[in-house]
Amino acid sequence: MPTFYGTEVTSRLMLGTAQYPSPAILADAFRRSGAGIATVSVRREASGDQAGQDFWALIRDLGVAVLPNTAGCYSVREAVTTAQMARELFDTNWIKLEVIGHADTLQPDPFGLVDAAAQLAEDGFEVFPYCTEDLVLCERLVEVGCKVLMPWGAPIGTGLGLNNIYGLRSLRAHFPDIPLVVDAGLGLPSQAAHAMELGYEAVLLNTAVAKAGDPAAMAQAFGLAVQAGALAASADPMDARDMAAPSTPVFGKAML
């Protein structure tokens, strides 16, 4: 199982906690998926009202690791402040860092992301940066202290899957010792399995489960797909080839 900042988690699947039809369905989705990490928006929890307290009690009852995020932050200052709030609320140094740079695509701001990651790492945070598959950006993030990278598969909530397989494969080859997590854009379990087949440690998703007709069943499907993809990657799969090769030996075949 993957290890993040020295902590081994119980599953290669991370699930978000937003947009579910009800708390009961959210809890059932986590149970059936076997997800090991729940991402939680700080804004949703920070109000301190009864609804927020009930939600936090539900997350605690799931028995999974909590990864607070800075979702919706468009500036370094906003992201850093939100991360500091998260550490107080959830008593963890883990933070999924989002610094959004484009309102339509929700693409990360690479400059702000590196700046915020540097400040947070200096302050003792263990940063999980939501980034693109750009090698230069990822190198900068590692240089400032990030020991996990979370490149997107596609823009958040689109369900487009792995838009740049070459880029994701290159990232895996370039950072063989850094845990990599495909974060955002997955819509089908087959896409999650593909990410694992590329050698990634985990996947993170929310919308594909929460907005499914049966969220709990879809969560279970993603959980199984992640297991299948990881097992396939460890089994040393065959290389693709351009020419056909017979699967049945021709030696000893009767000559007519």
> Which residues does the annotation mark as catalytic?
96
Residue 12 DSSP label: S
In contact, 197 and 232? CB cutoff 8 Å? yes
Sheet holding 13-16, edge to edge: 150-151, 126-131, 94-97, 65-69, 37-41, 13-16, 202-205, 181-183
Check if the beta carbon of residue 14 is closer than 8 Å to that of residue 36.
yes
Q: Is 81 exposed, middle or buried (0-12, 13-18, 19+ CB in 10 A)?
A: middle
| Neighbouring residues of 54: CB distance < 8 A, sequence distance ≥ 6 | 23
Angstrom distance (rounded) from CA 194 to CA 17: 23
Distances (CA, A) of 109 to 13, 148, 256: 25, 18, 68
